[in-house]
Every structure is written in structure tokens, then in C-alpha cells.
Amino acid sequence: MSLLSYRRVRKSFGTRVVLDSIDLEVDRGQVITLIGASGSGKSTLLRCTNLLEPIDDGEIWFDGVDISEPGRKPDPVRRRIGMVFQSFNLFPHMTVLENVTLAPRKVLGRHRRDADDRARAMLDRFGLADKADDYPDRCSGGQQQRVAIVRALQMDPEVMLLDEITSALDPELVGEVLEVVRGLRGQGMTMLLATHEMAFAREISDQVCFLKDGRIHEHGSPEQIFTMPARQETRDFLARVIASGRM
Amino acid sequence: MTRTDDGAGADAPAPSAPERTRRQQYERRQLVRSIVTAALSTIAFAALLVFVVSRQERWPDVRDAFFDGGVFGDSFRPILEAFWLDVRIFLVCAPCILVFGLLVSLARSTRSPVLFPVRALATVYVDLTRGVPVILWINLIGFGVVALLSSRSFFGGYLFWGGVTLVWTYSAYVSEVFRAGIESIHESQRAGARSLGLSTWQTNRHVVIPQAVRRVVPPLMNDFVSLQKDVALVSLLGPVEALRRADVIQDRTFNFTPFVVAALMFVSVSIPLTRLADHLMAKERRRMSGTAVR
């Protein structure tokens, strides 16, 4: 059974339909990439998965439970689903260590020392040991985004949602963040990511979904999508990406 | 890597005595020139002022009525002692206002339908309180409630209810400052916190409020500068603080110098407070936008 499954998911903001009958299955350990132009619904799909946005119709199942059921408490679901945002969303008034340990302490009830030890060990693995006591402002964009990833991972999530996590970074900082995602894949983390980094999508994904106007227009292996796209919309999109020099 | 910074610059040429560039010399000349100009213009202006004022026909009357040295000396001490009461009222009321104002702002920021009555009540309180002059509240609560209680205990006293009135009125203003601060925190901060599984309250407690409070320190200082002066309104109810004491002395001497003495005391507190507020605001602005444009 799939870990995550979307069934006819629909979502609109006012009269604008942003997600239109989305069907998608995500198995444990799979990495699925959402590609498509800005406004195609990639981010909204991720935000709906984490219940930051309610859906209008359809169902989202996570580990055998319909999490989109009206009235379901979101907090227990969210603590099992990690999310990383385009603009990091770190807490500027807390040090890196405090950012990373807040949720484990307050939500999981870990003791401070335990939470600190785990956090420092992971920061060390991600090359952030010397940043633990700095404030986010003192870190580069790449460092901040890696801290945000550590912050999500400290909750031991079963799936990670990565929402265009390199889009706000200077080009020379993208690599260090993608390296972290590669590492997560190596450990078998289930991931759903929205990205504009086509080369990376091709390299890391088990499946690629092309979204346009809130619909999944094409869905397949990275080889198929990038070398022989079946649909005209996909071909047009990839042609534009290539023309802009991003692939 | 080991630290060898100390030796690193050894073979570099030793920095020569600070030699100013042409540009720096120009900047320095400009600075000296503006200081000298400002000083000369201030002296000239002050001299003119003194000359004009002292030449006025009624200046001696004014001087005797407001700046009588003898009355100043006699009234300074009693007024200073009474001013200590103002300071104490301020020191007790200010923390109460901070706490109550924050609670009201939180009540207004709730989103749960269960708490609708709380939200409505807080809104009515703020609208009503800010819409009525402080001096009217002093009469209404101070005289009104004390008359109702007709008790002479501490909790029935005018001083207590004067303080309550200040907390009541100022909390409304302060709660609006806090609310502006809370609403200025970007929604992405809530998204970041909620995505980790933190509850609404935990998100407020650990992420939103600490940032909001930091952001509103300068405007809060402004409200506390006004509070420091409005403490004198309590004197309407009878407690003998600086304004009241000055009033009593004025009644006896038919001289207005005691009011000037009291005014100097309020100013001696409010000016440093204002400068502190300015300093904090400038610091915040620098933090947000880098350097100032000349």
C-alpha cells in the first residue's frame, strides 16, 4: 500500500482552480518530483499534503488514514510529515540549535539535553557544527536551507516535502543543498519535491510529474519525461526550460 | 585548521601612520565647518532671544510669577518628595499595562469560534477605552467606583483606583501596539512552526510573540513616555503627587514657580525616556534597512 495517496484532489482559490483531480501514489522510499511552470500547483499540492491548506474535494491518504477528512486534527499528521520551504522560514530570534530543537522539545517532549545532543550530531553530519550557536542571519542561504532541512528531520518524519528549496539560493549555493537531498535519498527517505532544477529532478527521481494549470499532464520515469515526453504541453515546457538555459 | 592569524601579516608592509585620503580630508573639513556653524548660530539665536525677552515691558512680572528664586528653593524639596509618588505609580502601573495589554491583544488575535465572545469583548473594550478621554475615565472610575465602594481600605482608596484607571486606559493603547506587532509577523513564520507540529498556542508562545514584542519596543516606549506624564492625572482624585503639591503651594504663595518646578521634574524623566525611544527606533531602522541616506 502506498504511503501517500491522492485521489481526485481538487483545490481552488476563489474562482481560480489550482489543483484539478490530482491522482498520485507515493510508495515508501520513493522520490517523486513535481515539475511545471510557476503557478502550476506544485507548491499548493505540497501545502495541502501538510494540511497548511484545506482541499475542496477528493482525499489525501497517509499511512492508511484519510488525513483530508474534515475536522481531523492537523498537528499529529504534521509531526510525521516534514516540510522545507523555498524561503527557509527559520525563526530569526532563535539560534540554529534552538530552531532545530524547538519542535522535538515542545511537540515530542524530548528533554533539552537529549534534543541538543541529537541536533548537534546531525548538524555536525551536515557540516553545520560551528553554526549551532549562531543566529540564522549570520548564515549563508545554503546554510540556512540546510538548517531548515535538519529542523524538519529532527522530528523523524516519514516523508519529506521539499517546496522549491533551492529557488531562493544564489547559484553557487544550490549544490550544497542538493547534496543533502541526495544523502536523504541514499538513506531511503520518502520525498515529494517541487523543483525547477531539471537536471537534479532527472537524476534523483523515481517518478516525475509534469503539472500544468493544476493537473498532472504527464507522469512517468525521468527518462521517459525528459527524453521522450508524450504530450505536447510537456514538450513545450521543457523547450522553454532549455531555452532559458536551466537544463 | 590551526590559528596562525598572528603571524600571517608579518611579512606584509607595516601599515603606515593613518594618512587621510583627499576625500577623507574633505569630509573632515565639512564636519568641522558644520559644527562651528551650528555653534555660532545657536549662540547668536540665544543672545537675540534673551535680549528681546528681557526688553519686554512686563518681563519683570513674568519673571517674578514663574521664576521666583525663593519660591523655587522652598518648594523644590516638597515637590520632589511628592514626585516620588508619581514615579512609584508609574513603576507599578507600567508592568501591569504590559501584561494586560498583551493579553488583550492576544484575545483580539484569536481565531477560534469558541472564543468569539472574548474577541468581541476585547474589541469593544479597546474601542470604548480609546474613544473616551483619559481624564474622563479618571473621573468615572476614580470617583465613581470609590463612591460605590465607600470604603477607606487600600482597595477602596483613590490612589488604588487612580492606578487602576491608568492601567485600564493605557492597556487599550498598548494592546493595539502589540496587535500591530503580532500582525506584522509574516505568515511564513506560522507556516514554518505549524509544519513542525507545533500547536496554535505553541506557535504564538515561542515564535510569534517573541518576535512581535521585539519589533514593537520603540512604539511602546512612546506610550510609556506619555504614561509618565499622565500619572499626574491621578492628582485629580486627591493623592498628593507632584502636580497636587505644586498646586497647594501655589494656592498659598500666589506664585506659579511651583508648577515650573513640577514641570522640570516631569521633563527630567520624559526627555531621557524619549531619547531612549529615539535611539531604539534608530537602531531598529538601521537593522532593517542598512545605512541612512545623507
pLDDT band at B3 (very low <50, low <70, confident <90, very high): very low
Over residues A173-227, the pLDDT tens digits come to 999 999 999 999 999 999 999 999 999 999 999 999 999 999 999 999 999 999 9
Kindly state which CATH superfamily the domain A4-90+157-243 is placed in. Answer: P-loop containing nucleotide triphosphate hydrolases (3.40.50.300)
- DSSP assignments along A228-243, one per residue: S--SHHHHHHHHHHHH
Per CB-CB distance under 8 Å, the chain A contacts of B206 are 91, 102, 106
List the one residue out of A90, A68, A199, A192 whose CA is nearest residue A140.
A90
> Is A46:A163 a contact under the CB 8 Å cutoff?
yes
Rounded Cα distance between B95 and B170, Å, is: 11
| Burial readout A59-82 (b: 16 or more C-beta within 10 A, e: otherwise) | ebbbbeeebbeeeeebeebbbebb
Q: A236 to chain B, minimum CA–CA distance in Å?
A: 33
By the 8 A CB rule, do A148 and A84 touch?
Answer: yes
Cβ-nearest to A93 among B192, B195, B211? B211
Per-residue pLDDT, B4? 45
Q: Average pLDDT, stretch B147-172?
A: 82
Report CA A41 to chain centroid distance, whole Å.
Answer: 13
Tens-digit pLDDT profile for residues A148-169 = 999 999 999 999 999 999 999 9
3-state secondary structure labels for all residues of chain A: CCCEEEEEEEEEECCEEEEEEEEEEECCCCEEEEECCCCCCHHHHHHHHCCCCCCCEEEEEECCEECCCCCCCHHHHHCCEEEECCCCCCCCCCCHHHHHHHHHHHCCCCCHHHHHHHHHHHHHHCCCHHHCCCCHHHCCHHHHHHHHHHHHHCCCCCEEEEECCCCCCCHHHHHHHHHHHHHHHHCCCEEEEECCCHHHHHHHCCEEEEEECCEEEEEECHHHHHHCCCCHHHHHHHHHHHHCCCC
Contact B224, B204 (CB under 8 A): no
For testing contact with chain A, the best of B195, B208, B213 (most A CBs within 10 A) = B195
Given a cut of 80, whether residue B149 has pLDDT beyond it is: no
- Among A170-179, B29-38, B135-144, B278-287, the minimum mean pLDDT is found in B278-287
Listed in sequence order, the residues at least 6 apart from B53 whose beta carbon sits closer than 8 Å to its beta carbon are B59
How far apart CA B168 and CA B161 sit, in angstroms, is 10
User: pLDDT band at B278, cuts 50/70/90?
Assistant: confident
Using the Cβ of A127 and the Cβ atoms of chain B, whether some distance falls under 8 Å is answered with no
ipTM above 0.95, yes or no: no
Mutate to test the interface with B, among A93, A150, A164 (most CBs of B within 10 A): A93
What is the distance of C-alpha A184 from the center of its chain? 12
- What is the average pLDDT value for chain B, to the nearest integer? 86
* CB within 8 Å of A237: residues ≥ 6 apart: A35, A36, A37, A210, A212
Restricting to A residues 45-64, those with a Cβ less than 8 Å away from any Cβ of B are 47, 50, 52
Phi/psi at A169 (5° precision):
-100, 150
- Structure confidence by residue, pLDDT tens digits, A4-31: 999 999 999 988 999 999 999 999 999 9
Domain boundary assignment for chain A: 4-90+157-243
Using the predicted structure, report yes or no on whether residue B13 has a pLDDT greater than 70. Answer: no
pLDDT in tens, B77-117: 989 998 999 999 999 999 999 999 999 999 988 888 888 99
* pLDDT score recorded for residue B14: 56
The verdict on a CB contact (< 8 Å) between A152 and B193 is no
Grid cell at residue B230: 499622565
Q: Which of the four pLDDT bands, split at 50, 70 and 90, describes residue B151?
A: low
Q: What is the mean pLDDT of residues B5-23?
A: 61
Q: Count Cα neighbours of B114 within 13 Å in the Cβ-side half-sphere.
A: 0
- Report the residue of A53, A79, A106 to disrupt the B interface, i.e. the one with the largest count of B CBs within 10 Å: A106
